[in-house]
Chain A
Amino acid sequence: MTLPDPPPRWVRAVPAAWSSLLAVLLLGPALGPGYVLSFDMVWVPDLVLRADVLGVGTGLPRAVPSDAVVAVLDEVLPGALLQDLVLLAALVVGGLGVNRLLVPLDLGLPARLAGLTLWQWNPYVVERLVLGHWPVLVGYAALPWVLHGASRWRVEGRCPARLLLLVPLGSLSVSAGLATSSALLVVLVAGRAPVRRVLAAAVLAVAAQAPWLVSGLLHAGAAVTDGEGAALFALSDEGLLPAPLAAASLGGVWNAAVVPDSRQGLLAVVGLLVLAVLAAAGLAVLLRRPTPAARGLARPLAVLWAVGWGLAVLTWAAPGPVGDLAEVLPGAGVLRDGARLLLLCVPLLVLLVALAVDAAARRLRAARLPTPAVVALLGVLVLWPVTVLPDAAIGVAGRLDAVEYPSSYAGARAALEEAAPDGDVLVLPLSSYRAPDWNDGRPVLDPLPRVLVPVPVASDDLVVDDVTVAGEDPRVRDARVALAEPDPAARAAALGRLGIAAVAEDLTAPGPRAEVAGEQVWADERLRVLVLPEAEPRSVPTGWVAAMGLAWAAYLAVAAAGLVLALVRRRRGTGGSRGATHPMRRNLSG
């Protein structure tokens, strides 16, 4: 049997070019010089690899392992450049992953471009970008590649080396890790892979989650979260759309401040209708003329869609029980941000839309319309996600922009490094978020703890709708008690007993603060740094260090095994990935 000729080189380059164009259009000014600081997205010039970053701090491991990965990589690349690369890659790599996922289905270029556009330009991506959940978006980018790799593992019985790199990469946060692990396991289980292969995948998934999992277990006593947050962070109505429909159209984030204006009006309804029509048409194609490849892919994607949408709607329908669960079950708080796991819904929608567009393209060609008319109509089917969400463009209409840190931050860091206090640093005021003028008033998690070198003790309370959702770090509670002492000297002594040797204060930020006695080593109009007279050194329990050492070893071992395996297979010429770009050469239907 002779194989059909592979598509010309320019056709293969179109998805990459289109994906890059969409990413640059979406990020816009965020790719300029400086740092994008938006809600939970805090990047600094040089993050230090210290105890809290490695998961042995006193607070819950909210940025494990993402901060540790950044702390290592920013030794090689400047922090600002690294952030630009991560944001751009999170969009383009995911888009190319969708293209790769759809290639084995023998879909035409317009269908793949339609799927790619929906993947990169939807409310989920936009809202998570503004909310600053970049590790989730890295997991989102890894998702189609993980699905593709897991499908190959299921069919060929040999774990692709790439999967060993992708699973840890897609697990930079708890939510991302859960989504990545779910995708890996659901493909194998739904595809009825042998039990041994499923068990091997489970071991891989657990190893890739080890840093946050072990750190979370070490903090099990504090790992229960304030149930108050469940109602506040639940899936939400969005404009005219009730929450379940908002989730169906990949929106519904809790925070009104990150929702694009177009999602508040009629365009969101139009977007939902177009998506519903295309998804229904794609489903009809799937049911009427199911190719083995499409059917094999659709089954796990349907399961993932149901899990993502179901969990999101659960937080909206039953915030009380979800809050109760978070209060008693360590780690259950991860479910309270209801819309976060909607990334699991996107692959199925992309598949159905691509199938629908492919069927439409075939009909249009059969109708023998002139080429310009066919191009115009296919252009509509590719471009509609942009049409219904136009204000995602140019940095989500200016919500994302790059700024430079004032020189105060570098000065305060250098002064504290020079003073070299033997202990940790308390960050005041005791509130989590800032809205600095140099960031154009955009809210952001206080960057000062990440700028400084010592381990920070900083507020982890969250205030939403004037309601305070209590943080989990017991040391912050102790520091608050210490600050209630009657005079500055007594406060300094009480803080010293907690192992706090310095206080760094943002003078421009509102929030609870108190005078503390100490030697001033830095002060300007923005920041002040004091070194306290005395501090009792605080050590990390040896058991914690050993446990986290094993967890990091497992995480790194998976990635290292992936690299070695890829090199060995490349040398032997058994990598098996090049042929996968051609539909006739790799059928993932099983």
Chain B
Amino acid sequence: MGTILGTVAAMIVGGAVAAVTVVGVVSSQTSPQGDSPANVNAPVVQYGATQ
């Protein structure tokens, strides 16, 4: 009984993580890009902005 429960739990956890990974990878590729940090109207192109 314990083996069956363990198997089911393992498959659920494994399947869930696999699904989350695939969904995460796919959605990160299909979501719109954030605004570019560069602004062509700025006096110079900045190296970056701190967080």
A residues with a Cβ closer than 8 A to B are 39, 232, 236-238, 254-262, 267, 367-370, 372-377, 379-380, 383-384, 386-387, 390-391, 393-394, 397-398, 429, 431-435, 441-443, 462-466, 509-512
Q: Beyond A232-B50, A367-B3, A465-B49: 9 further Cβ-contacts under 8 Å?
A: A236-B50, A373-B14, A379-B17, A380-B17, A387-B17, A387-B21, A397-B28, A435-B45, A443-B45
Those of B1-50 within 8 Å (CB) of chain A: 3, 6-7, 10-11, 13-15, 17-18, 20-21, 23-25, 27-29, 31, 33-34, 36-38, 40-50
Complex contact B20–A387 (CB within 8 A): yes
B residues with a Cβ closer than 8 A to A are 3, 6-7, 10-11, 13-15, 17-18, 20-21, 23-25, 27-29, 31, 33-34, 36-38, 40-51
A-B contact pairs, 7 of them (CB 8 A): A39-B48, A256-B37, A261-B31, A391-B28, A431-B44, A442-B36, A443-B36
Contacts of A383 in B (CB 8 A): 17-18, 21
Contacts of B10 in A (CB 8 A): 369, 373-374, 376-377
Nearest Cβ on chain A to B35's Cβ, whole angstroms: 10
Complex contact A390–B51 (CB within 8 A): no
The 9 lowest CB-CB distance pairs between A and B, nearest first, are A376-B14, A390-B24, A391-B28, A435-B38, A255-B48, A373-B10, A431-B44, A257-B37, A433-B45
Contacts of B36 in A (CB 8 A): 435, 441-443
Complex contact B49–A256 (CB within 8 A): yes
| A463 CA / B44 CA spacing, docked (Å) | 8
| A390 CA / B48 CA spacing, docked (Å) | 23
Complex contact A262–B11 (CB within 8 A): no
Contacts of A511 in B (CB 8 A): 43-45
Contacts of A259 in B (CB 8 A): 51
Q: Which of B23, B34, B44 has the most CB of A within 10 A?
A: B44
With contact pairs A380-B14, A390-B25, A510-B40 given, residues A255 and B6 touching in the complex (Cβ less than 8 Å): no
| A383 CA / B23 CA spacing, docked (Å) | 14
With contact pairs A367-B6, A369-B10 given, residues A257 and B48 touching in the complex (Cβ less than 8 Å): yes
| A311 CA / B9 CA spacing, docked (Å) | 42
Complex contact B49–A373 (CB within 8 A): no
Complex contact A443–B44 (CB within 8 A): no
With contact pairs A262-B24, A390-B25 given, residues A254 and B18 touching in the complex (Cβ less than 8 Å): no
Complex contact B28–A464 (CB within 8 A): no
